Amino acid sequence: MQILRPISVCSFKTELPKMEICFALGTTTDSLASNAKQYRILASTSYNQTVIRRSGKYTPPIWEFDYIQSLNSEYTEERYKTRASEMKMQVKMMLDETMEPLDQLELIDNLERLGISYHFEDEIEQILAFINRKYSKSKEPKIKDLYATALEFRLLRQHGFNVSQERFDCLKNEKGDFKPRLCNDTKGLLQLYEASFLSIEGESTLEMAREFTIKHLEDKSVDDIHCDPLVHHALEIPLHWTIPRAEAGWDVSAIEQLPDYMQIFYLALNNFINEMAYDVLREKGIVIIPYLRKVWTDLCKAYLQEAKWCFTGYTPTMEEHMENALISISAHVILSHSFFSVTNPIEKEAIQCLEKYPDIVRWSATILRLADDLATSSDELERGDVPKSIQCYMNETGASEDELRKHIRFLICETWKKINKGRDANCPFSQTFIEIAVNLARMVQYMYQYGDGHGIQNHETKDRILALLFEPIPLN
């Protein structure tokens, strides 16, 4: 069964019955703040006929607008802000203290698991750089216990340091296998298991580490009732795959030419893009509307292609599906907006790279697409949607659904390896932007872990969102 190849972005020429949409770039650039730079959308549609649009049959949302607006937190008062600032300074002092490397690594790990490490990015980077230099220069045997070795490897590689899998050679016997005694160290096994998901293509030691740890952790989850919750949670989804903390200035007058159901969406998008472009121009001195216009145009083209397939009953090949789906999943839109929000200064080289949808964007989009298809394809087909990855593969290969689901999970794992390796590669993007791309992949696996957590808001997804956003962490 073939593996998905890197997919290039291409233009899609799609025509829907009685509708033609084109974008014409305006000519002014100096009056962006007053929305003088405009792109016209020309639409000609015959409305003398009743157009029957299929129903999406989505379930009603559980998050009512009035309910969200009624939420209040007592922790917004000034005294809590002052206390938070004091605690932040205390943590910075702890990070600056002279500590044993293992203590520093554990503190960093705790901060990241709590989702507050972004407050201390500079301090954490300095500590990890020092530990990595110290390891590289040391001529003594790097013999450490399993827990310390795995924790150090995971944090260093997670932060973009080029760490070799050979660090685990000290834990192998003369046959090249992991020493049997390691299976008694549950804490170390968990760290080695988590570290194995930072692997890149061709790293046999980390593949072996994953198999070794899964086997022994599964055994322990059966034999030891006390370690079962922690081990079971880790085996469900690795830490690296989870969320650490659970252009367009188009001519607004053209809105009258759109169907009623599209006008409010068009107006909202128009306002949002102009506001964002104005903020970036004011703060960073660059006009970004042409770039944002491109990503939204590409997204609309991809949606139109899917609509054409839907109305004609065409089942695309897997290559055709993924070529279009990597755009229709909208990762490039999310990440392009994120790039202009978090990057300062914005370098021309980075923008040129982003326009071509670089590997980090494609890899994130691949995981987003495949994980989405795994969880939602059955429900979406019932709603009359286009075939997804599984159906395209089944139509193309004749394999069973179970076989193809297994293969798609394999493709997701292989894509994670590309992401892990790509974080070390020289690229014009900041680590902050790269982390956003990685977090996007994490988010989708978290959201779809128990099925369609977006379209069908089950109890697991609801409980997670409540715990993350609405239920404060007890302070006592």
Q: How many H-runs (helices) and E-runs (strands) does the chain carry? A: 18, 2
- pLDDT reported for residue 227: 55
Q: What is the mean pLDDT of residues 11-25?
A: 36
pTM of the model as a whole:
0.61
393 close to 399: Cβ distance less than 8 angstroms = yes
Q: For residue 154, name the pLDDT band (cuts at 50, 70, 90).
A: very high
- pLDDT reported for residue 211: 92
For residue 459, what are its two tokens? 């109890």
For residue 221, what are its two tokens? 């989850």
401 close to 474: Cβ distance less than 8 angstroms = no
**DSSP designation for 20:** E
Question: Whole-angstrom Cα distance, residue 373 to residue 302?
Answer: 16
* pLDDT, the chain, mean: 78
What backbone phi and psi angles, to 5 degrees, belong to 19? -140, 130
- Hey, where are the domains in the chain? 80-241, 288-470
Query: Higher confidence at residue 90 or residue 15?
Result: 90
Above 80 in pLDDT, residue 444? yes
Q: What is the mean pLDDT of residues 15-21?
A: 36
Above 50 in pLDDT, residue 422? yes
Answer yes or no: same fold for 80-241 and 288-470: no
* H helix runs in 313-387, sequence order: 318-328, 331-342, 348-355, 359-382
What backbone phi and psi angles, to 5 degrees, belong to 78? -60, -35
For residue 471, what are its two tokens? 């239920």
CATH of domain 80-241: 1.50.10.130
Q: Which superfamily does 288-470 belong to?
A: Farnesyl Diphosphate Synthase (1.10.600.10)
CB atoms within 10 A of CB 460: 12
**DSSP designation for 231:** H
- pLDDT reported for residue 18: 34
Sheet strands (E) in 171-246? none
- pLDDT reported for residue 339: 94
Distances 43 to 12, 94, 129, 259 between C-alpha atoms, Å: 18, 61, 56, 10
The distance from CA 333 to its chain's CA centroid, rounded to whole angstroms, is 12
Query: What is the identity of the amino acid at 195?
Result: A
Q: What is the mean pLDDT of residues 319-330?
A: 90
Three-class HEC string of 396-425: HHCCCHHHHHHHHHHHHHHHHHHHHHHCCC
- pLDDT reported for residue 457: 63
- pLDDT reported for residue 384: 57
Q: What is the mean pLDDT of residues 179-197?
A: 89
- pLDDT reported for residue 114: 78
Above 50 in pLDDT, residue 2? no
Above 50 in pLDDT, residue 302? yes
CB atoms within 10 A of CB 78: 7
Above 60 in pLDDT, residue 42? no
| CB-count burial class (<10 Å; 0-12, 13-18, 19+) for 35 | middle
Q: For residue 87, name the pLDDT band (cuts at 50, 70, 90).
A: confident
Is there a cis peptide before residue 345, judged by omega within 30 degrees of 0? yes
